[in-house]
Structures are given as C-alpha cells and as structure tokens.
Amino acid sequence: MPSWAAPHKQRLSPALMNDELRELYQSVILDHSRKPRNFGELHGEGCVHVHGDNPSCGDEIDLFVKLDGDRVTDIKFSGQGCAISQASASMMTQKIKGKARAEASAMAGVFRGIITGKDRQPEAEDEMGELQLLEGVQHFPQRVKCAALAWRALEQALAENAGDVTTEEPA
C-alpha cells in the first residue's frame, strides 16, 4: 500500500509531512493541474452545467455532469485557477465517473471531511485514493476553498440544479 493510502497513521499536514510524502503530494498535484483528466465540456440530454467560482483565489470551473437515471455516466470540467483547484477537479472527475448519484454525493461529504478536518469519516476515506493527499489544506482556510470548489459544483449538479455556485456561501 502506498504511503498516501494510510493517512491515519501519517497525518498529511505539511508540517508533519516527511520528504517522500511531500514529494508525492507535489508530483500528484502538479501532474493533475498540468494534465487535467476529463477536461472539456458535455452538452445534450441529461447534461447539467454548473459554473463555480472561488473569488478569494480567482479559481473558476465549468462542470458538466451527464446523469443517466441514477448514475453519473460522464463528467468533464473546464476552467482555470490554481494548481489545487485544478487538481482537485481532475481527481474528482476520475473518482466520480460511473458512480451512482448517492455514492457520488456521499463521496463529496467524505472529501469535505478530509479537507476541513470536520465530520471526518475515516472508514470511508481509503476509497478516496489520491484525493486524501489534499488533507493538508485544512490548515489553510483559503486553500480549503480551492480544493472544495469542484465538489461544491458537483453537489449542485447532482441535485440537477444548473447555475452558479461560489465558495463564498456556506455549503
């Protein structure tokens, strides 16, 4: 098991991160922000488009979720922003694609726990894979918003509410 998959033994706060973990964090975040997965747009039947912005950092996202019945059959995003916002969105699309709506929504809750440090669900966190690397942002409130942006958009899309979300409003 890679070291990042056992965050409960090794807290990922930057102060406590060992060099290996810090390197992994940086390489994963940079890789996803430079080569975002599922980057693009989706249009047509069953597609919900949500625009999200995080004015405190300048991050923007356009999230496109295709729902077929109770399943997220496709998901893409476009946008611009800091490495954390882009990497979080990229990893999110990989994790959510193909999931049932309830499962996707539950994952959004688990991820919120990881990045805020509140209402954590340790038993569900291993499922989140590389997204656990973002745990360290909980020490930096501005960065929490960057990591949360794509997921706020996801939750709105899962509720089939097209439109805008902003990190300036409480979840």
Give the binding site for Zn ion (CB under 5 A).
57, 59, 82, 85, 146
Query: Which residue number, 63 or 82, has a Cβ lying nearer to Zn ion?
Result: 82
Shortest Å, Cβ 80 to Zn ion: 10
Nearer to Zn ion, 67 or 149 (CB): 149
**Beta carbon nearer to Zn ion, 121 or 166:** 166
* Closer of 10 and 56 to Zn ion (Cβ): 56
Residues in the chain, how many? Answer: 171
CB of 126 to Zn ion, least distance (A): 26
> Which is closer to Zn ion, CB of 85 or CB of 132?
85
Whole-number minimum distance, CB 86 to Zn ion, in Å?
9
Minimum distance, C-beta of residue 85 to Zn ion, in the bound complex (Å): 4
In whole angstroms, the minimum distance from the beta carbon of 50 to Zn ion comes to: 17
DSSP string, the chain: --GGG-TTTS---TTT--HHHHHHHHHHHHHHHHS-TTBS---STTEEEEEEEETTTTEEEEEEEEEETTEEEEEEEEEE--HHHHHHHHHHHHHHTT-BHHHHHHHHHHHHHHHH-SS--HHHHGGGGGGGGGGGGGG-HHHHHHHHHHHHHHHHHHTT--EEEETTS--
Alpha carbons 6 and 11: distance in angstroms, whole number:
9
